[in-house]
Amino acid sequence: MLQSLSAESDVPLRAVLVGIQLPELSTAQVEASLDELARLCKTLGLRPIARVTQKRRSTGTATVLGAGKLRELAEITGGAGTVPSPVPAVRQAQRREGDADDAFDRNASVSREDGDRAVEDDEARPQRADVVVFDHDLTPTQLRNLEGATGAQVLDRSTVILQIFQRHARSREARTQVEIAALKYLAPRLRATGGHRDRQQGGIGVRGGAGESALELDRRRVRDRIAELERELVALERDATGRRDRRGARTVALVGYTNAGKSTLMRALTGAEVWVADRLFATLDTTVRVLQPETVPRVLVSDTVGFVDRLPHDLVASFRSTLAETKVADLLLHVVDASDPIYPQRLSVTRRVLAELGVGDAPELLVLNKVDRLDADQRAALADRHPDGIGVSALDPDDIAVLHQRITDWLEQAMVDVSLFAPYRIPRLLHVIRENARVISETHEDEGTRLTVRATAEVIDQLKAAGAR
């Protein structure tokens, strides 16, 4: 698994955040992304104390930052500010390009919130950072160079997200999925961590009898472990498929950006004691509860893992089974934090990930949550922008009642009214009909009960197969 962060005491490790402003990004976009990275770091248990930003043409240089900016970063961490080991000629050329990039932006900053310099915690002003966190992915060579230059542990955005998932996964399925994603992330980075070690002793069945290097052995072990975990995950998915056989119940899945308020909304809609926390990725395991007040047929509501911008691809792929509720759901409730200034960007991120999962065309209701944080003008603008959206506060019972009605009204669109006859000779049939369809009227006859029911065509076919006519 990934190397875990640790500290010698209970004091959180101090982190400096690094953002690169590429030509296509605005300053506001970079700052918003760093704000989210800061929240990710706090969720992981780090304490952001400073930010370093620089305009660059690309992130492909050996140390990402230019030489001058790298020295400024090292001042915060206590490092030397230069890469200690020799760099190949191609990397030297990239570093020269990086020095040219320094001239591209003379206004690149180390932010400490006092003019040119800004700090997120005044008490941390004289303190050095223990960890450097980059707001994009780094190559193994870049990681090694940056750690040498800063003298601190260096993480990239994907590593932070993966470590959060590792710590918060509770179910066997979620832990398996996270380990798969972490190993896939680790595999290409083995060269940077494994070094050049002697080849192992050859033997029967080994290529040419020359043996494998330790690096090759490590990679093979990782591949074998991934294959083992994927087989285990298939078995867990098969069990989950059986659990999703819910006797014709309609299903609604809550989806949305992390910390949009899905779990709070889940608690309000179902009355379930779902864990709610004001932090990113508070929910990793899918929870399914019955919509309250209960309807007939009943409606099941599932709370799924939240999305985040630049979620590691392997993590998305690994969580397909956890997000399987979105594939079998009759309706998606796309929850958005309407008080977030960049909620349209969050909305597009979620829709992009849902498209990757193959459910981009699924029917949805847009739920604009946290409208209690908006003033009247902002609410009016929101309604104009999303006329089909439902503005709610998950803390307002009246709003939840309106949302409950919208859900049931939408689901009833697919229902039809039919007349069924339940013979007395099939004792449990009447109970099954009442459990899976809404009974509008019923009369008792000599040989059975005549009912008018409202249900989906699929449920009606199942009832007829059970003996109704």
Examine the domain organization and report whether 145 and 173 are in the same domain: no
Within a domain: 62: yes
Asked if 406 and 420 sit in the same domain, the reply is no
Do 273 and 405 lie in one domain? The reply is yes
Residue at which a domain ends, from 100, 135, 163: 163
Assign 182 to helix, strand or coil: helix
CB 327 within 8 A of CB 315: no
Do residues 202 and 239 both lie within one domain? yes
pLDDT tens digits along 221-261: 888 998 998 888 778 766 655 445 555 578 898 988 888 88
Q: Would you mind telling me the total number of residues written for the chain in this entry?
A: 469
Select from 163, 182, 215 the last residue of a domain.
163
CB atoms within 10 A of CB 453: 26
Longest dimension (CA), the chain: 95
Which pLDDT tens digit goes with each residue over 447-456? 889 999 988 8
Residue 4 belongs to some domain of the structure: no
pLDDT of residue 318: 57
Q: Is the pLDDT of residue 85 over 70?
A: no
Residue 9 lies in a domain: no
Distance of alpha carbon 110 from alpha carbon 118, whole angstroms:
7
34: tokens are: 């760093």
Is 319 in the same domain as 450? no
Residue 2 lies in a domain: no
The DSSP secondary-structure symbol of 237 reads H
- Same-domain check for residues 431 and 308: no
Give residue 356's pLDDT: 77
Tell whether 178 is covered by a domain.
Answer: yes
Q: Give yes or no: residues 398 and 444 share one domain.
A: no
| Residue 333: CATH number of its domain | 3.40.50.300
Question: Please, which contacts does 40-44 make with residues 24 or more away whose CB atoms are closer than 8 Å?
Answer: 40/157, 40/160, 40/161, 40/164, 40/280, 40/308, 41/15, 41/17, 41/133, 41/160, 42/279, 43/164, 43/279, 43/280, 43/281, 44/5, 44/160, 44/163, 44/164, 44/167
For residues 157 and 305, state if they share a domain.
no
pLDDT per residue as tens digits for the range 159-170: 898 888 877 777
pLDDT at site 215? 74
Q: What CATH number did the domain enclosing 121 receive?
A: 3.40.50.11060
Same structural domain for residues 266 and 406? Answer: yes
Q: Considering the domain boundaries, does residue 305 fall inside one?
A: yes
5-36 pLDDT, tens digit each: 544 446 789 999 999 999 999 998 899 899 98
Distances (CA, A) of 219 to 270, 362, 394: 46, 39, 48
367-406 residue pLDDT tens = 999 999 999 999 999 999 999 999 999 999 999 999 999 9
Q: Are 331 and 395 found together in one domain?
A: yes
What's the confidence (pLDDT) of residue 283?
53
pTM value? Answer: 0.72
Asked whether the predicted pLDDT for residue 201 surpasses 90, the reply is no
pLDDT averaged over every residue in the chain: 79
Count of the separate structural domains present in the chain: 4
Q: Are 138 and 192 in a shared domain?
A: no
Closest to 136 in 3D by CA, of 258, 4, 30, 27: 30
pLDDT of residue 205 exceeding 60, the answer is no
Please state, in angstroms and as integers, the Cα–Cα distance from residue 466 to each residue in 244, 324, 443, 469, following that order.
Answer: 20, 28, 20, 9
If one counts every other C-beta atom within 10 angstroms of the C-beta of residue 388, the result is 7
List the domain range (segments joined by +) for residue 420.
415-465
Separation of alpha carbons 248 and 339, rounded Å: 37
Q: Which of the listed residues 243, 265, 296 is the one where a domain comes to its end?
A: 243
Range 82-87 average pLDDT: 70
Report yes or no on 7 lying in a domain: no
- Do the domain assignments include residue 3? no
Give the span between the Cα atoms of 141 and 426, in whole angstroms.
72
Q: Specify whether 71 is located in the same domain as 36.
A: yes
